[in-house]
Structures are given as structure tokens and as C-alpha cells.
Amino acid sequence: MLKITVLGTGYVGLVSGVCLAETGHHVTCIDNNNKKIAALKARKIPIYEEGLEALTTKNIDLDRLKFSTNLIDTLNESDIIMIAVGTPIADESTGTVNLNYINECVSEIAKLLSKNIIVIVKSTVPVGTCDNIQKRLDKLSNFECVVISNPEFLREGTAVYDFMNPDRIVLGSDGREKKTVNQLYSKFIEEGTKIIYADRRTAELIKYASNAFLAMKVGFINEMADISEKVGADIKKLSEGIGSDKRIGSKFLNPGPGFGGSCFPKDVKALVKLVSETKINSNIIKSIIKANIERFEKISKDIMENVQECNTIAILGLTYKAGTDDIRDSPSIEIIKYLIKHGRYKIKTYDPVGTENCKKFLSDQVEYYVDLYKACTGASLVVIATEWDVCKKIDAVKLKNVMKDLNIYDLRGIIDKEHFLKNNFKIRSIGYKQNA
Ligand code: UGA
């Protein structure tokens, strides 16, 4: 079994570290945030992610998982150092990625290294970054460092499952150290997971292309939902109809308020930057973000057309999707911001786990409730923005008793329409003929 040091305890770093420990390796996760490391040592997980806490506790108890703030503690005992720090957008308008955290890691590794090592880059980085890291380490260090690009494809909310059941593992390298890296993923190789060996630049681009393709698929189905509404077609049947074609695939065909999160918007913007830099004439990639922003606006305008000023709107769901407490680039928040800017409404909100994060963004511009039906009390319109189970199971009778006007706008197409129609609700649901 290998000794691995993981730099960064965000989504990718923490989940990768914990899951690699679960596959038998000895892992130390490093972060310069003292509070976070102290919490992790006490088995407190800073993110809402199903299954992560149990796996963390199990592997700490098995002595395979440790946390530290000092790279020097483990660097020179490790076979592999995995860089999994954040690469946020530095400039929204240009899509420039902030590589400061990556660069700090590289400097730190070069400074402290006293042996040869494999450096795996898990963070999503612009094409050419790993080649540059290789050059820098060759220059700065007296030891042999082999840099490998190994992008991660886990989703928030299902991160542990995704890491443990990958569709493929992508390894971008110059061919050195294949044996050790295969050892890192031996559990997956034994289980028959496809390993894609590529050069570093291709591996880096695979990550961006995957996210952009999925974002495009979401954008496409959203446009099909709009068409369905206009012509009286049923988007669920349409998704099933096209998704059953294996060449298309059934996943990522759920229409909604647009995509959000910390990855799709950031990665598509970074790809647009690459397109501009390389002077490629790409209409498709460029249109993905534009269409998504226009979608937030379109939905906000639809809401405003259906609620008179000064009335109450209840927004159910603040996170960018179900299963996470992450509200970064959440369509729900974008819609709320639009309503606040362009209208005069009382906005009441409910989310099972995202409220605390939302408060940091919207503070007292909206009201927050821990009870869904209290959030809907007095509302003239209820908007379902996130596909939480609790939203799928809303009781129309209970809702009817607390709302002012019986209007519901289902942005995820998840409510039982018959049940609401029977209770005299006026329903608008993405991809269905208005008020069917
Ligand atoms: C995404 C990718 O799916 C992961 O493979 C990748 O590793 C990750 O980004 C990353 O780069 O770190 P994530 O952002 O967690 O994962 O969320 P997704 O489940 O992909 O959803 C993204 C957005 O698309 C959400 O706003 C979601 O509501 C929306 N979506 C997704 C739809 O509107 N419809 C769908 O059918 C699927």
C-alpha cells in the first residue's frame, strides 16, 4: 500500500483522501486552515456529503487517515503527493483561473523535498499547467519529480459514491511511474475500471470537455423544455424518448432553472478563454454560459409576470442542486437576486441544508424558515427551485391551507401535478403546457 499526502481538504481533496484511505492506502490530508484540520481530527466534516463522515471515522480508527497542517510532517515519507487545492475563477469576465494556490503548493514541495516523488494534480487546471509544474519542479528541486494530471469527476452530493465507482480514471503523464500510479488505483483496476492513459494536456482538456459537454446537455434540454411548453409536449417523455438512444444517454436530461455550482460555470468560462486564446471559432462553447444566464433571467421574468408587486413569493430550495449545502452560482440565488433588484416582493425561503450558507450572501434581504409550510404561509406563488425530496413530497392540502393564492411554479418538474390540480392549484411546471 502507498503513502499519500493530499494537499487541500476541499471537496475534491477531502473526498479523494478519505476514499483512497478506504481503498487501503495510508493518507495524510494537509490544509493550512488550522480550524478545519482541528475539526477534521475531531471527525467533524466541514461539508454536507453523504457517507463521508462514516468513512472518515472508519479510516481514522484504522490508522490509515491522518490530518495535518504541516507538509513537512509527511512529504518525505510519501510515495505520492496529490495536489487538490482550489482553482477558482480569478476574473469572471475573462475566465482566467486563479493558480495561486497551486503555485504555492509547488513552491512548498520544491522547498521541502528531500527525495524523488510523484506529484499528482487532481485540481481542475488549464491546459498546460501540469507541463509548467513539471518545468518548475525540474528547475527548483534537486530531486526527480514526476508530474501526472489526474482530473477528478466526482459530483457534490454523491461524491463518495462517484469516487468509489468511477466511469473511468484519466492519467496524463509522460509515461514515467506508470507502475506506482497503477498501484494507487489497483482496487479500481482489479474491478475493471477503464484507465485512460494520455499525455498531460489531453488529460487536462478531458476534464474541461466533460464538464462543458454536460453543461451543454443541460442547456439543450432546457431549450427543449421551453419548446415543449409552447407546443404542448411533455418534456419527461421527450427526455425518455431521446435518452433511450444509447448514443445520447439518459443522464443530464432533466430540465431546470439552469446549471450552477462551483464547476460548470467556472470550467465552461475557462474553456471559452482557451477558445479565444487559440483563436478557435467556437459558437457552441461560447453559447453555453450565455444561454444559462439568459435562463435565470427568463425564469425570473416569468415569476414576476405571475405575482403582483408587494405580494409574497416563497422560494423552496437555495442550493444549486439537491444533496449539497453548496450555494455557489446557484440558479435559485440568481433568481432571488433578480427579483430583489427588479421588483418589490416579500421573499420567504426554505432549504433543508443550504440556509446558513445563503445567509452569508443574502443576509436579511429575504426571510429564512426551517419549516417548508411556514415559508409558504401567505405566499401568492411558491417556486420549487431545487429538487429536494421534501419538495417532491409537498402536500397540496397543507399548502392550500397556508397560501394566499394557489400558484405553484415547479422549476424542476418534480411535483405530483394531479394532486395539485385536484386541489385547485394553478401549476406552471418546466416543460409542460402552461396550466395543463
Ligand atoms: C460536476 C460534474 O458532474 C462532475 O463530474 C465534476 O467532477 C464536477 O462538476 C467538478 O468539476 O468538480 P457538480 O457540479 O457537483 O458536478 O454537479 P452536477 O450534478 O454535475 O450538476 C451541475 C448542475 O447541472 C446543477 O446545477 C444541476 O442542477 C444541473 N443539472 C444537472 C440539471 O439542471 N439537469 C440535469 O439533468 C443534471
Find the 264 Cα to ligand 1 centroid distance in Å.
7
Q: How many CB atoms lie within 10 A of CB 86?
A: 16
Beta carbon of 320 within 6 Å of any ligand 1 atom: yes
The pLDDT assigned to 93 comes to 86
CB-ligand 1 contact for 213 (6 Å cutoff): no
Compute the average pLDDT of residues 69-85. 96
- Please, which pLDDT band fits residue 259 given cuts at 50, 70 and 90? very high
153 Cα: distance to centroid of ligand 1 (angstroms):
10
Ligand 1: does its nearest atom lie under 6 Å from the Cβ of 156?
yes
Give me the pLDDT at residue 426, please.
95
Q: Give the pLDDT score at 434.
A: 57
Write out pLDDT tens, residues 153-175.
Answer: 999 999 999 999 999 999 999 98
Which amino acid is it at 283?
Answer: N
- Calculate how far, in angstroms, residue 336's C-alpha sits from the geometric centre of ligand 1: 21
SS3 content of the chain, % helix, strand, coil (to 5): 45, 15, 40
Other CB atoms within 10 Å distance of the CB of residue 120:
23
What is the tens place of the pLDDT at every residue in 187-227? Answer: 999 999 999 999 999 999 999 999 999 999 999 999 999 99
Atom of ligand 1 nearest to the CA of 252: 36
Domains, the chain, with CATH or none = 3-198 (3.40.50.720), 264-429 (3.40.50.720)
- What kind and span of H or E run contains 335? helix 331-342
Q: 100 alpha carbon to ligand 1 midpoint, in Å?
A: 25
| Smallest CA separation from ligand 1 atom 2, residue | 155
pTM of the model: 0.96
241-251 tens-digit pLDDT:
999 999 999 99
Q: Which 3 state secondary structure label does DSSP give 94?
A: coil
| pLDDT greater than 70 at residue 435 | no
Q: Which atom number of ligand 1 is nearest to the Cα of residue 162? A: 5
Rounded alpha-carbon distances, angstroms, from residue 271 to 97, 124, 201, 278, 325:
10, 12, 13, 10, 26
Range in 83-92, 214-223, 247-256, 382-391 the model is least confident about: 83-92
Output the CA 412–ligand 1 centroid distance in Å: 14
The residues assigned a catalytic role are 263
**Mean pLDDT (whole number) for 373-396:** 97
When pLDDT is averaged across residues 338-351 and rounded to a whole number, the result is: 96
Report the 10 Å Cβ neighbour count for 88: 12
Position 413 pLDDT exceeds 60: yes
Tell me the mean pLDDT in the region 332-351. Answer: 97
Sign of the Cα pseudo-torsion (151, 186, 193, 18, in order): negative
Give the ligand 1 atom nearest the CA of 211. Answer: 2
Cite the beta strand spans of 132-223 per DSSP E: 145-149, 168-172, 194-198
Q: Cβ(291)–Cβ(265) under 8 Å?
A: no
Q: Whose CA is nearest to atom 25 of ligand 1?
A: 259
Q: What is the mean pLDDT of residues 358-369?
A: 96
* Locus of grid cell 443576509: 363
- By most ligand atoms within 8 Å of CB, the mutation choice from 97, 156, 223, 321 for ligand 1 is 321
Question: What percent of the chain clears pLDDT 70, i.e. is strictly above it?
Answer: 99
Pocket test of ligand 1: the residue of 89, 150, 155 to mutate, having most ligand atoms within 8 Å of its CB, is 155
Tell me the one-letter amino acid at 46.
P
Please, which pLDDT band fits residue 436 given cuts at 50, 70 and 90? Answer: very low
Write the pLDDT tens digit of every residue in 88-119.
999 888 889 999 999 999 999 999 999 999 99
CA–CA dist 151, 137 (Å, integer): 20
CA-nearest residue for atom 23, ligand 1, is 259
Q: Of the candidates 435, 95, 392, which has an alpha carbon nearest to the alpha carbon of residue 265?
A: 95
Mean pLDDT of all residues belonging to the chain: 96
Q: How many CB atoms lie within 10 A of CB 245?
A: 9
pLDDT, position 92 = 85
At 20, is the pLDDT very low, low, confident or very high (cuts 50, 70, 90)? Answer: very high
